[in-house]
Amino acid sequence: MQAIEFPTKTGLMCDDWRQDYMLLSDILGVSMLVDAINSRRPVGASENTALGPFHIGGTPEYEMGTNICLDGKGEDLGVRETGYKASRPSG
């Protein structure tokens, strides 16, 4: 009974701003399990979450701002952080 009471209590603490159940789900691996069941892939295919479809082990590390385009085609695209700050709604 305690096994179901813990996630139930966590869910009851949630509201529009606080989503602790989702955090608990991620920590326990439930999100990954649901994704694995609902998104079956052929043998050898990349996972679609956690490490993502673009993760390859043993790749070299580059300095920030390095162009990682292998074929040299296309134009550079600069991306800059604007300092967005989220605030909790009052009330």
Please report the pLDDT score of residue 72 as a whole number.
80
In a domain, 28, yes or no: yes
Tens of pLDDT along 37-82? Answer: 888 888 877 666 655 555 667 878 888 878 888 888 888 777 776 7
Structural domain count, the chain: 1
The Cα–Cα gap between 29 and 34 comes to: 9
CA dihedral 44, 47, 48, 49 (to 10 degrees): 180
In a domain, 65, yes or no: no
b/e code 19-43 from CB counts within 10 Å (16+ = b):
eebeebbeeeeebeeeeeeeeeeee
In a domain, 72, yes or no: no
Tens of pLDDT along 12-26? Answer: 888 888 888 888 888
In a domain, 88, yes or no: no
In a domain, 18, yes or no: yes
Mean pLDDT over 29-44 rounds to: 81
* Residue range(s) defining the domain that contains residue 9: 2-37
Please report the pLDDT score of residue 61 as a whole number.
84
